[in-house]
Amino acid sequence: MTLSDSRIYLASASPRRRELLEQLGVNFERIHADIDESVLPGEDAVAYTERLARAKADAGWAVAERCGLPSRPLLSADTTVVQDGEIFGKPADPADAARMLRAFSGRSHQVVTSVAIRQDSRLELATSVTEVWFRELSDDDIARYIGSGEPFDKAGAYGIQGRAAVFVRRIDGSFTGVMGLPLFETAGLLTAFGLTFP
Ligand SMILES: Cc1cn([C@H]2C[C@H](O)[C@@H](COP(=O)(O)OP(=O)(O)OP(=O)(O)O)O2)c(=O)[nH]c1=O
């Protein structure tokens, strides 16, 4: 299969994941599948994102099968933020976003993204963990950033690819992983399913 004639299914509503797949030149078709995203008691961040990426792939595959779609690799992913063992998902409201951003101020946290590819009964997973250091944030920084509206559909209440870029002193890991789809790991997985890069 060459890149130009390859097409995969993307079980994701995230505009970032679409953009990042387009960056790789992968053709894809979106599939809608909803899953429960609650954290299980005692579950750590890597176990959580791996379970959710897998659940999204399985739910997407079930939809593809139900619709009688041809067998092609299906990609899903999940991103979460963790600091001192506490998992930060998407903020529920502005106060929740402020709580998260205050926790990250002047310190580091980790962003964990798991990617799953499923085709028929075969499923492969990869996980990327990136350490992100924020500068100190003032109450004004936090209020203005929340006022931009950016935090609300994002794990940890910020987007490194948006205005929160000015908060990030340094990262150690994968920029695209923080955005929601680590492209190095994703290309590796897709290669195992027959696609070719670059
Ligand atoms: C930390 C961080 C997260 N995010 C986003 C990526 C993900 O879209 C989102 C985490 O939520 P997810 O639950 O991983 O994904 P989603 O609900 O947006 O999309 P889907 O489940 O349909 O694939 O946070 C950024 O865009 N930039 C960042 O810097």
Ligand 1 in contact with 156 (CB < 6 A)? yes
Global ipTM: 0.97
154 Cβ inside 6 Å of ligand 1:
yes
Distance CA 134, CA 156 (A): 12
Ligand 1 pocket residue status of 179, Cβ below 6 Å: yes
Give the domain CATH number at 110.
3.90.950.10
Q: Whose CA is nearest to atom 16 of ligand 1?
A: 14
Of 66, 53, 57, which Cα lies nearest the Cα of 9? 57
- State the average pLDDT over residues 74-83: 98
Whether residue 77 is contained in a domain is answered as yes
**pLDDT band per the 50, 70, 90 thresholds, residue 3:** very low
Residue 198 within any structural domain of the chain: no
- Per-residue model confidence as pLDDT tens digits over 97-139: 999 999 999 999 999 999 999 999 999 999 999 999 999 999 9
Residues 63-74 pLDDT 10s: 999 999 999 999
The rounded Å distance from CA 154 to ligand 1 centre is: 5
Report the predicted TM-score, pTM, of the whole model to 2 decimal places. 0.96
Residue 81 inside a domain? The answer is: yes
Is residue 111 within 6 Å of ligand 1 at its C-beta? Answer: yes
- 34 counts as catalytic: no
Residue 6's pLDDT band, with cuts at 50, 70 and 90, is low
**Is 181 touching ligand 1 by the criterion CB < 6 Å?**
no
- Tell me, yes or no, whether 197 lies in a domain: no
- Atom from ligand 1 closest to the CA of residue 156: 1
Q: Rounded to the nearest whole angstrom, what is the distance from the C-alpha of residue 6 to the centroid of ligand 1?
A: 25
Q: Is 1 within a domain?
A: no
Confidence category of residue 196, pLDDT binned at 50, 70, 90: very high
In a domain, 69, yes or no: yes
Q: Tell me whether residue 169 is in a domain.
A: yes
Could you read off the pLDDT of 10-45 as tens digits, one per residue?
999 999 999 999 999 999 999 998 999 999 999 999
Q: Which domain holds residue 120?
A: 7-192
State how many domains the chain has. Answer: 1
- Give the confidence band of 1 by pLDDT, cuts at 50, 70, 90: very low
Q: What is the mean pLDDT of the chain?
A: 96
> Mean pLDDT over residues 174-191, rounded?
98
Residue 148 lies in a domain: yes
Catalytic residue among 34, 44, 58, 78: 78
